[in-house]
Chain A
Amino acid sequence: DTGVSQDPRHKITKRGQNVTFRCDPISEHNRLYWYRQTLGQGPEFLTYFQNEAQLEKSRLLSDRFSAERPKGSFSTLEIQRTEQGDSAMYLCASSLDFTRLAESYEQYFGPGTRLTVT
């Protein structure tokens, strides 16, 4: 079991540039979540996928953000025209779907991608 992996671990970019992050979930997990964590705060939900379908998006996810999960495996999160306010840790988590009862509510997190916009 390799766990949830994220790439890159750190990204420094200049304001206005586009960035893309990748998340590889645990292989048998159907659900994949993206969260954003700013300094001194708990993670905040951005969006989630059930297999390849994006089923919910937070109002935090502006038009500059887009996420995909082709073929229901890995996922990418792209931020266009980055702003300094986008600087944060972006966390990915995966879980089984709810038909697997209690254990399906457990979300396993990756190490995160720390984005710094200068």
Chain B
Amino acid sequence: AQSVTQLGSHVSVSEGALVLLRCNYSSSVPPYLFWYVQYPNQGLQLLLKYTSAATLVKGINGFEAEFKKSETSFHLTKPSAHMSDAAEYFCAVIYGGSQGNLIFGKGTKLSVKP
């Protein structure tokens, strides 16, 4: 079955440190890839997307992600964490042949220590 795997349900970093959240997809055909952020009791906000253009994608709030076909990965990074980055992050894919519905990973909760 097509799936999305996020390694690490909880990641903790210090303010100013590098943020790295991992995401791997399961398809030989590159899908469309997304990262969403969810703050407590809120809906999801799109951070960035990959739709077969540039492999390094820049998003909002200083986040970026790199699509690596050989590794079937789409990891999310930010050079310097800020307290306001504390939230839950979801990797999601739209696989070819689907009706456009998103398949989500289980999420990674990011904590930022002062």
Contacts and interface: CB of A to CB of B under 8 A. Distances in A.
B51 A91 contact: no
Contact of A105 (B41, B100, B104): B100
Contacts of B90: 42-43
Interface string B75-105: 0000000000000001010100001111111
Contacts of B36: 109
Contacts, number: 67
Given A33-B101, A42-B92, A109 B107 contact: no
Contact of A107 (B9, B41, B102, B106): B102
Contacts of A45: 101-103
B43 A95 contact: no
Contacts of B53: 102
A48 B99 contact: yes
B110 to A, nearest CB: 15
Interface residues of A, number: 29
Given A42-B92, A42-B107, A105-B49, A48 B43 contact: no
Interface residues of B, number: 26
Contacts of A31: 100
Nearest to B36: A109
Contact of B42 (A93, A106, A112): A112
A99 to B, nearest CB: 12
- Top 5 nearest A-B pairs (CB, nearest first) are A42-B104, A109-B43, A45-B101, A109-B44, A102-B51
Given A105-B32, A107-B102, A110-B43, 4 more contacts: A4-B43, A106-B46, A106-B49, A108-B46
